[in-house]
């Protein structure tokens, strides 16, 4: 089986999507990119994460061909593909329907610099991509354009997308940004949050680039 370790990792993190509360049911999707072979490892469409085995995870090329795997790939295949085709700093993507990030995305609210952890997204805000139907090239284009210079984007009336150098890193970003979304929503219910300065956020972006035991591998 090709890319066995990567496929096992996708299975592991698929379960974490549910146990962490980042998504419900079969919602969301995960992928890893292997640049040396231009192959994408991605979750299948509509399958229970706890039923998945490594062989259920698909290996695909950029033309949409399934190289290994017997199932239909995630409906968001094109959204994952566009990042791997156009960005060299993203090697894994996590898409979730977490409650607070999706709430803000439905309101059309970006997440501003109200907490230093917003900087894990690569800047002083988490932007919102314009709405498009799920599984379409329009959604892929909107996500890519809105996430330029960032590692996270809210998908309007849909959910959250995060990217990183590893799947662990992309997943950690999803967790931290969901936390920021919850804090922002809660503070807005009682008042206006105080914002951090652009200079402070620039400092935070730089610091997160070297945080932890292995650089930006884990937040």
DSSP label at 55?
A: G
219 in any annotated domain? no
Q: How confident is the model at residue 210 (pLDDT cuts 50, 70, 90)?
A: low
% of residues, the chain, pLDDT over 90: 94
DSSP label at 135?
A: T
Q: What is the CATH classification number for the domain harbouring 34?
A: 3.40.225.10
Q: Is the pLDDT of residue 219 over 90?
A: no
The whole domain housing 28 covers 4-213
Average pLDDT over residues 57-74: 94
State the Rg of the chain over Cα: 17
Average pLDDT over residues 192-214: 84
SS3 call for 2: coil
CA–CA separation, 120 vs 152, rounded Å? 8
218 in any annotated domain? no
> Per mean pLDDT, which range of 61-70, 132-141, 149-158, 169-178 is the poorest?
61-70
CA–CA separation, 55 vs 146, rounded Å? 33
- Please give the distance of CA 59 from its chain centroid, rounded to a whole number: 19
114 within 8 A of 88, measured Cβ to Cβ: no
Q: Is the pLDDT of residue 189 over 60?
A: yes
Q: What is the pLDDT of residues 9-64, one digit of tens each?
A: 999 999 999 999 999 999 999 999 999 999 999 999 999 999 999 999 999 999 99
* Tokens, residue 210: 């070297």
Q: How much is the mean pLDDT over the chain?
A: 94
Q: What is the pLDDT of residues 79-118, one digit of tens each?
A: 999 999 999 999 999 999 999 999 999 999 999 999 999 9
98 in any annotated domain? yes
**Phi, psi angle pair for 6, to nearest 5°:** -65, -40
Q: Which residue is it, tokens 């945080």?
A: 211
Residue 122's CB is within 10 A of a number of other CB atoms, namely 21
CA–CA separation, 14 vs 164, rounded Å? 16
Q: How confident is the model at residue 209 (pLDDT cuts 50, 70, 90)?
A: confident
177 in any annotated domain? yes
Helices (H), the chain: 4-19, 77-86, 99-107, 137-146, 167-190, 198-208
Total domain count for the chain? 1
Average pLDDT over residues 142-155: 98
* Tokens, residue 14: 């698929």
Active-site amino acid positions: 76
- Minimal CA–CA distance to 130: which of 103, 104, 94, 155? 155
pLDDT given for residue 217 in this prediction = 40
Q: Is the pLDDT of residue 218 over 60?
A: no
Q: How confident is the model at residue 211 (pLDDT cuts 50, 70, 90)?
A: low
pTM of the entire structure?
0.94
């Amino acid at each position: 089986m090709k890319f066995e370790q990567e496929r096992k990792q996708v299975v592991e993190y698929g379960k974490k999507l549910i146990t962490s509360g980042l998504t419900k049911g079969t919602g969301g999707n995960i992928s890893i990119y292997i640049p040396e072979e231009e192959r994408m490892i991605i979750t299948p469409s509509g399958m229970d994460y706890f039923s998945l085995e490594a062989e259920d995870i698909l290996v695909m090329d950029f033309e949409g061909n399934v190289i290994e795997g017997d199932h239909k790939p995630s409906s968001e295949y094109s959204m994952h593909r566009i990042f791997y085709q156009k960005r060299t700093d993203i090697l894994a993507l996590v898409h979730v329907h977490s409650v607070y990030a999706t709430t803000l995305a439905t309101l059309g609210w970006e997440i501003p610099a109200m907490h230093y952890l917003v900087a894990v997204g690569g800047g002083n805000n988490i932007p919102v991509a314009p709405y498009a139907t799920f599984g379409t090239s329009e959604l892929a284009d909107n996500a890519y354009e809105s996430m330029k210079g960032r590692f996270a984007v809210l998908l309007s009336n849909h959910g959250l997308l995060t990217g990183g150098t590893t799947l662990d890193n992309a997943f950690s970003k999803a967790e931290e940004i969901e936390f920021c979304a919850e804090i922002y929503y809660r503070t807005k219910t009682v008042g206006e949050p105080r914002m951090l300065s652009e200079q402070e956020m620039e400092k935070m972006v730089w610091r997160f680039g070297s945080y932890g035991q292995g650089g930006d591998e884990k937040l």
